[in-house]
Structure formats: structure tokens, C-alpha cells
Amino acid sequence: MTRYYTDKGILSKGACLMVKDETDSKYMLLIPTSNLPATRTAPATVEKTVLTDNAVTQVEGLQTNDQKTYTFNYHRDNLIQLSKYYGRHLSFLEMNADKTGEKFNGTMVYGRTGVEVNGIEQGEIYITVSDADEQPITDVRDLVKPTAIITSPLEDVELIGTGSKIVTIETSAGATVAATSKSTSIATCSYSANKLTITGVAAGNTMIELVCSKTGEATSYRTIAVEVKSA
């Protein structure tokens, strides 16, 4: 089974929530999820009785779309990804481990739950569904655009003075990584052959931004928080 690495552990690639890529008609990974909530409720029913009939029958009524809730790791990399879609009406695809799935449209927001599980803070995505396909899809693979991802866990970095640290970066097959420091006056970085070198310049805090890409695949983004202390 394929696995995605997070900064605090490993999440098996069983279920995931995908969003339609705005550059083409395919869906790309939004976030791996630990749950796939129901899209539709059971149809409402009303009892039908007739005085001359001793049986009670059911009349099927309306079927409503639920608000869907997904749990995720409340980490800055996930928040950066989700912030692009906050409050927008979008087309989503749920993919199960067996490649079945469901398509639906809705508006997404998210927030922190205030719950921690083994030290990992949790958040929830809330999607108010406006409409959904009547039938599930038995094979979603032709609808899915692969995503180039960094597969290794990334820890925050602490440096002393002008010291350096080398971080090994592993990616999905054929992907490349571009690294940029948000403040080169605090720390610089260089990337080559799966090795990221971070070097301190002056005391302070900055972020190293990593862009993982591959031709024909969706791009993903990760960050490393860097703190440089005085020598």
C-alpha cells in the first residue's frame, strides 16, 4: 500500500479528498483523509394509510445532501494547501482505496478542533454540498491527475551562527524539488541530488519553501521552519 508521510507520522493512502484542477478537467490531491463521510441522507419517507387497506405503506420523499466533515492534521503545510480553496464553490472527488469514488460540488471551510491525538493537533474540513452525482464511480483513475509529492518527513531546523544542516529529501518517482528561503538575510538554502543544505546567516527566524513538481502532474508545496541562534 502506498503511504503519504506527514511531519508527525505516516498516513496510509486509503482514502483521499481531491479537488478539480483549474487548469484542466482532472482532479488532484487536496488532502489524504482518515474518513469519507456520507454524501446523501436516506430519502425521507411518509407513512401512507388507507382505511380500506389493513397495510401501511411508505411514500418516498426528498433526499438531501449532507454537510461533509473530514479530519486532518492541523499543520501549516496542510493549512497553506487548504487556504487556496477556503470559502470557494468547487468540484470535489472522493477516492477510496479500491479506486471507487463519488463526485460532488460544494463550498469548503475549515478550522481547528482543539483536539490533540498523541500530540498531533487536529483540524476539520467542512464542505456544504450543493449537489452530487446520483451514482458512485466504479473506477476513478481516468479522472485523477497524479501529484508530485515529498514523501520524507520534514523536521524544523535549528542552527547556531553560520552553521549548516543537510536534510535528505525523498520524492515520488521522477519529481524535482526547488527550494527558496523566505529571508536570505537569516538563512540560505541550496538543493542538489536529493540533499537540501540550509546555512545560517544571522540570528532570526525564516521558512524554507519547497516546491515539488513533475511534468504532467500536480505540484505540491512543503515548508521547513528555520531558527538561527547567535553563536
Which residue would you say has higher pLDDT here, 166 or 60? Answer: 166
* pTM over 0.85, yes/no: no
Of 121, 127, 15, the closest CA to residue 75 belongs to: 121
Question: And the C-alpha cell for 2?
Answer: 502506498
Give the number of other Cβ atoms within 10 Å of residue 132's Cβ.
19
| Residue-level pLDDT at 8 | 38
9-54: pLDDT as tens digits:
333 456 789 999 888 889 998 887 766 666 655 555 666 666 666 6
> What cell numbers appear for 107 in the block?
463550498
Region 75-86: mean pLDDT is: 92
88: closest CA among 20, 147, 155, 3? 20
For residues 139 and 80, is the Cβ–Cβ distance under 8 A? no
Round to whole Å and give the CA distance between 217 and 90. 20
C-alpha cell at 66: 449532507
CA 22 to chain centre: 16
The structural domains of the chain, ordered by start, are 3-39+64-143 (2.30.110), 157-229 (2.60.40.1080)
Q: What is the pLDDT of residue 60?
A: 61
Task: Give the best-scoring range by mean pLDDT among 55-64, 91-100, 150-159.
Answer: 150-159
